[in-house]
Structure 1
Amino acid sequence: MWIKQAAGRATTLCLVSGILVASGYARAEYPDKPVTLVVPFVAGGPSDKIARDVAESLRKTLGTTVLVENTAGAGGTIGTARVARATPDGYTLLVHHIGLATAPALYRKLGYKTSELAFLGLINEAPSTLIGKPGLPPNGLPELQKFIAAQDGKLNLANAGVGSASHLCGLLLQSALKSNMTFVPYKGTAPAMSDIMGGQVDLMCEQATNSTPQIEAKKVKAYGVTGAQRSAVPALAAIPTLSEAGLPGFNFTVWHGLYAPHGTPPAVLDKLNKALRAALKDPALVKREEALGITVIADDRLSPAGHRKFFDEEVNRWSKVISEAGIQPE
């Protein structure tokens, strides 16, 4: 009799336990294992650097290991697709830049839809600089505008490949100048920068984090900063924005955002957004970013809704710019 009663109680406990697990009450609190930040580009680049900085700050807030995984290829679409298809549990996240908003206009087949991603908040944004080769005749943007127009499309503009920040900035610049230039694509920023310093190409629109050392060393000529405000970096402080130098309203920044797979539980998304907010207040992270002229986001774009609204605006903006440039999706 006692054995039957014990067996009955054990069966009941198992059933209750199963119900609790199924309903989520017995689950361990998120996170209970390492979180992976997928960067859809090679190690060592700007996106990789910010992801590693954010990973360190998120580790402090989440209380778990945060790993960075580089899944490069196809303009960032391979790594993005990996996260879009990942289990929506908050353990596989994506750090991506402006290229996520331009990809729909540049690629026919992405391997994912942006609706398959949950927006967690914008991380940062950084301006680029318009630089020229040493000895380029024009001094200042007004002279450069006249020089470009007189060249009738012969002046060349280096970039790190279709869809890169330097390429996008160049497209926006060409549209604002209403003058054509010859775009010269390279396999990355390093060879493009090498050739502009060597005088093989005329102009380049490059992220300030990469161009500042060359500007400071006078290895290139600086014509303007692409952001809405002048850079706080001492070496760039005296350089006007392109907007104030003659292209009113010109504003180009390279931004990064954090994403999770669509379907991730709301409670996990909320915890991740709070962790991101805390991470971006980390004095060590803010100091590192500001030293490079990068602005850490502190406005409404840090919220999921604000991030999504900004992203949609960027998609519309770049779709128009890319279409007007006559670029056909690959």
Structure 2
Amino acid sequence: MTAVPAHRLSVAPMMDWTDRHCRAFHRVLTRRALLYTEMVTAPAVIHGDRERLLGFDPCEHPVALQLGGSEPAQLAEAARIGADMGYDEINLNVGCPSDRVQSGRFGACLMREPQLVAECMAAIREAVAVPATVKCRIGVDDQEPSESLFATVDASAAVGITTFIVHARKAWLKGLSPKENRDIPPLDYALVRRLKRERPELTVVINGGIASLDEAETHLDDADGVQLDGVMLGRVAYHEPALLGQVDRRLFGEAGSDIDPFSAIEAYKPYLTARLEEGIGLASMTRHMLGVMHGRPGARTFRRILTVEAIAPGAALEVVDRAMDAVREAEARRDSRADQAA
């Protein structure tokens, strides 16, 4: 069977969410999806605590490092550091709309400077042997998306970049908060499909507003003669991570059963144990599990136990076991009622 590229399904870089503990949890749900770090600025990589900022567990592969910056030499140095630490891809953030990002002249505001983006990508590509990729918006503020997106992509493609993850929304840098920028600007999926139609040699991954695997599969079909190369999921993968347990079968064509939440948590326990022994607090890891029982009986109790009890000093795996038992007991009660009704 032909290998399916990891970009077919990836989990977006999300600040304060996709840290190493989150990625390790997502990995027990899917072996195949490509995982991304939170954005790390190039100066932080160069001058900061690299183990704290970039350290990751080997279980996370394939995993990509997302960098923020606009100075080519800095980005090249940061990319080399990331590649040396073992990351499978180096990605440049050309989409984040936060005030801090704007003041630093990186993120979404770089959509106004496609040649600078190309210079940055040329430097990164020259510095590392792993793939160098771009994650961008379709434009910012009053830009015409059909012009700004193609200008950004074409400039970087001219220096040898072949993979683009496109958040199919503009970013309004004036007047909208970062949170509002995730929802208010309208989605233009058709423009992303047009990019792939007119630049078929490029790898084009679509991102933004995709709320289920059904929607992901719809984006990946070629009903209109366009075959997108991948889908990137954001908030839904974080808030309802159980759906990742279906990814390997549904999107990568692997045989075998899906990974259910109980199996995933059991598989995550060795990671939890190892980190607890290093002095990492349980809550910093279990906070990424809160949505895994979404839609199941006992899910609210599961979240409450992990939220309240995991923060206690010395909290250990017994807290996780109690949370899982709450769901099992609620499901047993539901099944008992169903049997009696029958």
Instruction: Return the TM-score normalized by structure 2.
Output: 0.26
Higher Rg? 1
More contact order relative to length (CA 8 Å, sep ≥ 6): 1
Query: Could you say which structure has the higher helix fraction?
Result: 2
